[in-house]
């Protein structure tokens, strides 16, 4: 890696190198990144489509978008992000959103979780309270987290 940037919506993050709203198309330059990692952020943006369009535009041809979003999750106003939390997503909704910008064949989406993991997460139990075997089981009916990888077409 030659360079990395940290995007944040306001100046409250001292590590941020870009302070802008990802839904604003002027936030990022065209063809700026080889890879963009967007973890647990998209659901905080009301205009997710605009944010994904900004990301697609900012990726170089062949560039990769890696993203995660919450599935089953507590959403309380007392949390740090409760006042901006707009969405909880499924693998289906993530795939449909991402394929508005990326070629369907370039997209891989996975949901991770199961009933026991979801209950433990909602009850805010610590890792020691849950067995590894329980966490390793996969049940698509209980997505705790949804992850996606999309590759921008190499042809501009």
pLDDT for res 79: 66
pLDDT digits 0-9 by tens, 106-155: 999 999 999 999 999 999 888 888 888 888 899 989 999 999 999 999 87
Instruction: Name every residue whose Cβ is closer than 8 Å to that of residue 72 and which is 6 or more positions away in sequence.
Output: 88, 113, 118, 121, 122, 142, 143, 144
Domains of the chain listed by start with CATH number? 7-151 (3.40.50.150)
Percent of the chain with pLDDT over 70: 94
pLDDT classification of 78: cutoffs 50, 70, 90? low
Instruction: Name every residue whose Cβ is closer than 8 Å to that of residue 125 and which is 6 or more positions away in sequence.
Output: none
pLDDT digits 0-9 by tens, 20-64: 889 999 988 999 999 999 999 999 999 999 999 999 999 999 999
pLDDT at 5 over 90: no
pLDDT at 156 over 80: no
Instruction: Name every residue whose Cβ is closer than 8 Å to that of residue 106 and which is 6 or more positions away in sequence.
Output: 150, 151, 152, 153
pLDDT classification of 96: cutoffs 50, 70, 90? very high
């Amino acid at each position: 890696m030659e360079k990395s940037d940290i995007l944040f919506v306001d100046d409250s993050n001292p590590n941020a190198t870009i302070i802008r709203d990802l839904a604003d198309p002027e936030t990022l330059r065209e063809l700026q990144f080889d890879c963009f990692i967007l973890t647990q952020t998209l659901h905080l943006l009301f205009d997710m489509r605009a944010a994904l369009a900004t990301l697609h535009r900012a990726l170089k041809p062949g560039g990769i978008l890696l993203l995660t979003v919450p599935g089953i999750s507590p959403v309380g106003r007392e949390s740090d992000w409760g006042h901006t939390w707009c969405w909880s997503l499924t693998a289906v909704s993530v795939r449909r959103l991402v394929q508005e910008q990326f070629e369907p064949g370039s997209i891989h989406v996975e949901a991770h979780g199961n009933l026991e993991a979801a209950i433990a997460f909602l009850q805010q139990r610590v890792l020691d309270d849950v067995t590894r075997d329980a966490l390793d089981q996969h049940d698509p009916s209980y997505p705790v987290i949804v992850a996606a990888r999309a590759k921008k077409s190499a042809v501009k």
